[in-house]
Amino acid sequence: MLDLKFVRENPEIVKQNIRNKFQDHKLELVDEVIALDLEFRNSKQEADNLRFERNTISRQIGGLMSQGKKDQAMELRNKVTEQSDRLKALEEKEAELNKKITEIMMTIPNIMDPSVPLGKDDSENVELNRYGEPTVPDFEIPYHIDIMERLNGIDLDSARRVAGHGFYYLLGDIARLHSAVTAYARDFMIDRGFTYCIPPYMIRSEVVTGVMSFAEMDAMMYKIEDEDLYLIGTSEHSMIGKFIDQIIDEDTLPVTMTSYSPCFRKEKGAHGMEERGVYRIHQFEKQEMIVVCKPEDSMMWYDKLWQNAVDFFRTLDIPVRTLECCSGDLADLKVKSVDVEAWSPRQQKYFEVGSCSNLGDAQARRLRIRVNGEEGRYFAHTLNNTVVAPPRMLIAFLENNLNADGTVNIPKALQPYMGGKTIIK
């Protein structure tokens, strides 16, 4: 969420940012919120004047009563009553205006970094770099579910009977591989100086609206019936929420944390949910990384975060590339974002396995996460990135480590987490 003062003083910058995101339908919101803000400030000024005048009159009433001038005191009391009625009306108006202003400000996009490429949708995202040599073996690579089933590693039919589409049972060495990957990811990030955390798997609505847009919330979150609680769709929401209403000492920044959690997503709008696949599912597990830092450090941490993900996948012999999100594909809260995509030998193309985002002070402003600095208080910057989400990662892992005889190689980095095994068969 932008600073309202910035919008008031720089309406054309805000409007051009909206045009660059190809959201012209939001242009009128800028003028609307500025007009509402003016009305709010005028109402507040009138209310402040009334409070001052009422306090002055109240002191006069006390003086008149002590002098025995009850008639004059009663006249002033009647005036105070009239002012109280007007003040109540103004306070109700302020509350209503403030609600409207907040609702609009929550939908105006954050100002993108100037380096973000312009483009209407994800088809215009820009490839940055490739890491590792993408190869296609001289034997046919089966669909990832077929690989898992041949290794007795997955049961979709039972999961469908128990929970419906978008769920799975992982079994045997595939289940063990899943757990090994998350354990290795945990240690990988700890070795890079991040504090390990297991967060709450449910968050309140105030946190939900603080970390994501209304559209994202509607498409992703499962709500707990009759409770002000939502199942997390990704653990960075719970992790950033940890700092809600906190004033952080500048000397303690940056805060760098890595978290493990299950994640739950409605996947609303995911047309044709795969019946035999684990690319889009309602429940999965993930290792995440988040940073809370000073504004001047956020771009440095942005580069470190996506590089961590690249390095992680390369230790597992999986070729990856980085793809920068263009303006039209950038979520409204984000300043800049890059996807990490893994190579699929079967499809002979890359597919998304993680996303790194710099959100500037948007989440901190919504959640009131402030920093106590030498020159006063300011809003922190927040960033997040996926270390690994095993269901999608398993697809890349199995395809890139598959042998012609159907066995799967286990990279050296993962072998200690698989009991010393070098191969799955």
Average pLDDT estimate for 104-109: 95
Residue percentage of the chain with pLDDT more than 90: 81
> Is the predicted pLDDT of residue 144 greater than 60, yes or no?
yes
Write down the pTM of the prediction. Answer: 0.89
Burial of 280 (0-12, 13-18, 19+ CB in 10 A): middle
Where is average pLDDT lowest: 58-62, 199-203, 270-274?
A: 270-274
Please say if 46 is a catalytic residue: no
Whole-number pLDDT of residue 273: 44
Residues 191, 262: Cα–Cα separation, whole Å:
22
> Is the predicted pLDDT of residue 227 greater than 60, yes or no?
yes
Whole-number pLDDT of residue 50: 82
pLDDT band for position 1 (50/70/90)?
A: confident
Residues 387, 74: Cα–Cα separation, whole Å:
71
Please say if 186 is a catalytic residue: no
Task: Write down the catalytic residue from 186, 265, 346, 365.
Answer: 265
Q: Tokens 């960075």 label which residue?
A: 236
Residue-by-residue DSSP string for 85-135: HHHHHHHHHHHHHHHHHHHHHTTSPPPPPTTSPP-SSGGG-EEEEEES---
Helix (H, G, I), strand (E, B) or coil at 293: strand
Helix (H, G, I), strand (E, B) or coil at 67: coil
Between β-strands 370-373 and 247-249, what pairing exists: parallel, antiparallel or unpaired? parallel
Task: Write down the catalytic residue from 186, 346, 366, 392.
Answer: 392
Among 167, 241, 163, smallest CA distance to 204 is for 241
Task: Write down the catalytic residue from 39, 46, 206, 352.
Answer: 352
Whole-number pLDDT of residue 186: 98
Among 137, 101, 122, 128, smallest CA distance to 29 is for 101
Residues 259, 358: Cα–Cα separation, whole Å:
18
**For residue range 401-411, what is the model confidence (pLDDT) as tens digits?**
999 999 999 99
Encoded tokens for 21: 């995101």
Task: Write down the catalytic residue from 53, 280, 285, 314.
Answer: 280
Q: Indicate the length of the chain as a whole number.
A: 425
Query: DSSP letter at 402?
Result: B
Higher local confidence (pLDDT), 68 or 327:
327
Whole-number pLDDT of residue 70: 66
**Domains in the chain, please, with CATH?**
4-105 (1.10.287.40), 122-424 (3.30.930.10)
Among 107, 86, 147, smallest CA distance to 25 is for 107
Whole-number pLDDT of residue 272: 47
Task: Write down the catalytic residue from 355, 365, 366, 399.
Answer: 355
User: Is residue 343 within 8 Å of residue 289, measured between CB atoms?
Assistant: no
Between β-strands 320-324 and 336-344, what pairing exists: parallel, antiparallel or unpaired? antiparallel
Please say if 298 is a catalytic residue: no
**For residue range 252-286, what is the model confidence (pLDDT) as tens digits?**
999 999 999 999 999 765 544 455 688 888 999 99
Phi/psi of residue 158, nearest 5 degrees: -65, -40
